[in-house]
A and B are shown apart, each in its own frame.
Chain A
Amino acid sequence: MLTELDEHFYHQTPSPVDAIRDSDPRFVDQHWFQCMDTEGRWIVGANWPIWPNSGIIENGQIIVHGDTQYNLRYSRTLERDGYRSDRIRQQVGPATMEVIEPLRKARFTLDSDNAWGISYDLTMDTFLKPVQTRTPIAFGGPASLPGVLPYFEIMGRWTGELKVDGQTYDVNHENTWGQRDRCWASLGGERWQGWLPPGPGGTVSPRGAGRIHWHSHIQFEDIGFWWWMDEFLGQPRLGGTLADNRGGHFDGAVTWPVDDPRQEIRVVDFTDIDVTAQPGTSKFQSARITLIDEYGEEYPLEFEILKPNATRHIRGEGYGQPRFLGGYQGDWHEEHDKYDLSDFSTYKDFSPQIWDGEHAVRCRFGDREGIGHMEMSGQPPLPQWGFF
């Protein structure tokens, strides 16, 4: 069926844009963001997966305020309205998102008409040049049907307003930093686990004993860093590519402010890694790493969580949920829950791994101080850090 999108010169297959020629039901096209108060008082993030072959758009919202994580999950079917395509109408229940200027500006909103009464209107202006994985990420799964995911990320500064728990936060470029990303994939979403035989090391990223996953977006005023690591310490690793899921792999980039004439530099290796947990828990506290770029230059970086519970736990967005991420739940579906982040005894229900979550961190690079995001998890044994 033709839509307005077919008037444009951007087809990739001999089929209408709305009709994916590859009928893989795992095909997803997704927006995602996380923005962080630089004092660690709150974090907001959401995912926006569209599943064209299943005819579904989903939206998972996480708002961390103080010691509470609020979660909202929505799903609806994609519908056509005349020649309009729903693939570019990101509106699900009370939530919307809009690319205002490609790669430069995007707006995310949540109306207060939701189970938690939280609302926001947040716009990200790109601050650092977008970076893309050098190769598509090869996710776990069997060799017969691996997940493949091209992926790029944009770091920026935010404006707008957040209302939560009776408080209103003014959001501006100085007090709110963060990032958004875009990926489109044939991805082993949670709905397809069980369809496929187990692959090497798991079903999403390579997993297994002794594995560290560390995915970061780090901003300073004059430089930025992005990397993705799945590491089995002491085991072989491919550096500079994520296109292999048999063991450790690592990719990254050094990026610059958008108007800086310098081109990105790929990060191909790292050393001097250390991670510290909060006392008596496996919750992330601090870390350090030295990145090594393609020319051999080293970038020693240090991180400290902004507040003990400045972490989003993405099960709240639907990751790991048995029904979300690609599952048809009727023309409309919504659900909500919340996590008490001050009670570590409950973490096993939503964040069972070591250092688990999407942390808002203060960063240091020489004399520079910045803000960053750390998506991190570890699987024992990691004896050097006391986890056996």
Chain B
Amino acid sequence: MSSSNTDPKIDAFRAQILHAAKNKTPLSIEGGGTKSWYGNTNTYSKLDTRAYSGILEYQPEELVITACAGTPLKEIEAALKDKNQVLAFEPPHFGEHATFGGAIAAGLAGPGRISAGNFRDFVLGTRILDGKGQDLSFGGKVMKNVAGYDVSRLMPGSMGTLGLLLEASLKVLPKPAGTATLRCQISQEKALHILNEWAGQPLPLSASCWIGNPNEEGQLTIRLAGAIAAIKAAIPLMSASVNASEVDPQSAEIFWNNLREHQLSCFGNLAADQTLYRLALPAACGPLTIPGASNEIVLEWHGQQRWIKAPGDEATFTLIKQLISSHGGHATRFKQGANVNSAFERFTLLSEQVHSKALEAVQARLRSAFDPAGVFATKRLP
């Protein structure tokens, strides 16, 4: 139900929204600005969420945390760590000042996504201000709730184009009792094959990453997480089939964190005319050859998320989109080199996908239901 308590900070947000609605000038919502490079660019005036900050409720035995959008993400993770709990989908921070709201709006997930689920799987409820300045609450703080449409789960990945997120309740999970990391040298094709085979077996496989040149052997790193006994039993079994060895826990933790934060060397050195492309693909997709791509590629999520560096021009993106769509996935211009035209569309459009053309009109109506005046119509997400 709409919250009756008034907060001067929320009143200030509302005033900014109503002003924007009146002047028909969209607002670009921003937290810590750590992901400002992600999504389509705009020059609209900013709505800064950071004033509305703080953890509102956290009861570890409920597995739920409720916090304000402007809360630093690190503050939330520190509170969870204190109680031995985690955000199992490991959202990347991409900078020290990442906020809770920004992480939700970006909707990105880290290595744990393949086993734990994506960001929206963990969203239980939200409080938002819509484009009319209305204070709305959807969902709740309980695990199971089917009252009303699940509007809350539209927020992850909506890039601030649906409404201003004020608060959210997320499901959290206990930190796994044990973890172990294994590493081996293996070809991309064999890696994709064995990862999918393992994923269909009762093994504590929690994350995977293959880094290498498409046609050579590369480095496969896998993470096991769960009951200590289950990990102990799985290590010899999985090591034997790929001739892997265990990575020491400290180096392993650094590796998985660097992967999550794109701090591994393979994510660096983006040439001025290059783009870092994110490819989201079905499990069935084998190795792909991308024209003009740099040699080193990164495969995560058992091959369902792939990172490649390739020329940032429109022709290359068009080719990549066609190739990825033909495999049932979609491509994103994730990060741009210094000389790539920043006005280029970053995402695959609904109209470019089979059977989603009709969704374009639905999505437009959905947005205007929450935001008739176009206060959040920054096009940051098309």
Q: Do A and B come from one complex?
A: no
Residues of A that sit less than 8 Å from B by CB: none
